[in-house]
Structure 1
Amino acid sequence: MANIMVIGASRGLGRAFVEGLASDGDNIFAVSRTKPEGINVPPDAELHWIEADMAKPLKAAQKIAEAAPQKVDTLIYNLGVWEEYAFEDNYQFEQDDDASIIEMISINITSTILLLKHIMPKVLNADKPQVIITGSTSGLRQSGRPEVTFGASKHALTGIADALREGYRKRNLAVTCLQLGDLNTDDALDVAVSEAAKKGEGRLIPVHDVVAVVRTLLQLSPSSFVRELTMPAILDDRF
């Protein structure tokens, strides 16, 4: 039995983590701003919902830590916002709204650091403590993407993961940063992966594939971990 916490769990990849990682006997703690409806977990798994708005980093971090169980075996941090015209041909950095840039940094970086600070004592109570952070190929060097604030904030996650691992190396903390390419978040796990893989004609990754990778990470022995994993779509011409 494991206690798994997913930050950003209401839809898309986060929802897929909640539905796809739970095993019988597990407790899944789903964190989101609004309560998700119709999430399916195994009959003998228990779903707990924690309402928190990561746009208010300190309040959210404190609330999540208070609501979390005394032991969190795996923390999955899957949250990120991007510019209004990100990934579109008409994106121009100088046209980004100043207030939106500040909010993006607050959600993508500040909330991550504060949540980790407040929840870490409970993660370290686990026999096999594990943190998984979903980054982006946009945050990699020479990513080929022009979105400045999103790219910078996702690049920051790699630094957070490295420092966290170093700080708790002697506590056997496993920290993985997943650098993910463009995802097909329209097709949930109830859609066959063979069908989901057709969307985007090789340029979108089904959430099924990311769930499969994370499931493997959860099954590793305490003697190993994956430090970083880059996962682009098969026809992503940047890789």
Structure 2
Amino acid sequence: MRLMVVGASRGLGRAFIEGLCASGDSVVGVSRARPNDLSVPDSVRLDWIESDLAAPLEAAVQIEQQAPPELDVLIYNLGIWEEAAFTDEYKFLDDSDESIVAMVNINITATILLLKRLIPKLLGSTNPKLILTGSTSGLRQSGRPEVTFGASKFSLTGIGDALRESFRDDGLAVTCLQLGYLNTEDGLSVPLDEAALRGDGQLVPVHDVVNVVKTLLNLSGASYVRELVLPAICDERF
């Protein structure tokens, strides 16, 4: 498998890098800086592209030039949120114009520009897959007030829908993962049973997301998962 993970240096992206590849696979991580303590088997080829998608056009061109010519799987895991998001202090009217523009540039503009350049690298695969990591905040009636973050994740679902139709004849499987609040403090090195205790039922371990994606990657080219909603067990919004 030839895999690329955009937004790969920490949290869920790091878990994808460390948890999805088997012997003989190759993986390319994309982030502003490469972490120095990743744990992947010696038999997995690991490459890294350092790029900052806060400058969408420049980064998209740079990543395209450094990316391998062919991919089987692309996981797009990039997104930022408001400084006070998911706290009682969040107020939309307090968000600066500059921070809103930055979120739109990274979460929407960069996504479209980079996917335009990377999707052609998937189309030569016999079973190409694009996985977009969205959020339950982007679902209708999500119960969350974060305006710009919610709008950008709602937009990601629309991007997925449009790409699915654009490349259906090419067999491109496009899946949107609508993820609830994640436990990103406990990486894959922490036992799942222990990681599942953090948050008292309000957080999804990254282990669970990795296991779901493993299932997606094992599907044949005859089917795909269009959308998957994965909230925490005690998330009363769902």
* TM-score bucket (shorter structure): over 0.9
The residue that corresponds to 2:101 in the other structure is 102
How many pairs were matched up?
A: 238
Which residue in the other structure is 2:208 paired with? 209
1:136-181 Cα distance to aligned partner (Å, 9 max, x none): 0000000000000000000000000000000001000000000000
Q: TM-score, normalised by structure 2?
A: 0.99
Residues of 2 paired with 1:9 and 1:173: CA distance?
22
Q: Deviations along 1:37-75, whole A, 9 cap, x unmatched?
A: 110112210100001111111111111111111111000
Query: Partners of 1:32 and 1:119 in 2: how far apart?
Result: 15
Corresponding residue for residue 125 of structure 1? 124
CA deviation vs aligned residue, 1:115-141 (integer Å, no higher than 9, x gap): 000111111111111100000000000
Give, in whole Å, the separation in 2 of the partners of 1:232 and 1:165: 24
Q: Which residue of 2 aligns with 1:169?
A: 168
Q: Residues of 1 paired with 2:55 and 2:119: CA distance?
A: 19
8 Å Cα contact 1:178/1:229 also seen in 2 = yes
Take 2:215 and 2:63, find their aligned partners in 1: how far apart are those partners? Answer: 26
Give the C-alpha shift of residue 78 in structure 1.
Answer: 0.2
Aligned residue identity for 1:91: Y
Instruction: Report the aligned-residue RMSD.
Output: 0.6
Counterpart AA for 1:145: R
8 Å CA contact 1:70–1:125 kept in 2: the answer is no
2:25 is equivalent to residue 26 of structure 1: yes
Separation in structure 1 between the aligned mates of residue 119 and residue 89 of structure 2, nearest angstrom? 41
Residue 147 of structure 2 corresponds to 148
Q: Distance in 1 between matches of 2:103 and 2:60?
A: 17
Q: 1:8-87 residue pairs with structure 2 within 5 A?
A: 8-87=7-86
Pick which of 67-76 and 200-209 moved more: 67-76
* Partner SS for 1:28: strand
Q: Structure 1 residue runs of 4+, over 6 Å off? A: none
For residues 161-214 of structure 1, what are the alpha-carbon distances to aligned partners after superposition, in whole Å with 9 as ceiling and x for unaligned? 000000001000000000000000000000000000000010000000000000
Taking the aligned partners of 2:61 and 2:72, their CA distance within structure 1 comes to 19
Calculate the TM-score normalised by the size of structure 1: 0.99
Work out the CA distance in 1 between the residues paired with 2:177 and 2:24.
26
2: CA distance, partners of 1:64 / 1:75:
13
1:220 aligned residue: 219
Unaligned runs of 5+ in 1: none
Give the fraction of aligned pairs with identical amino acids, expressed as a percent.
62
Determine the C-alpha separation between the residues in 2 that align with 1:163 and 1:5.
Answer: 21
3-state SS, counterpart of residue 238 of structure 1: coil
Q: Quick one: which amino acid aligns to residue 94 of structure 1?
A: L
Cα distance in 2 for residues equivalent to 1:39 and 1:90:
35
Shift of 1:25: 0.4
1:15-54 CA-to-partner distances (Å, cap 9, x unmatched) read: 0000000110000000000111110112210100001111
User: Where does residue 194 of structure 1 map in the other structure?
Assistant: 193
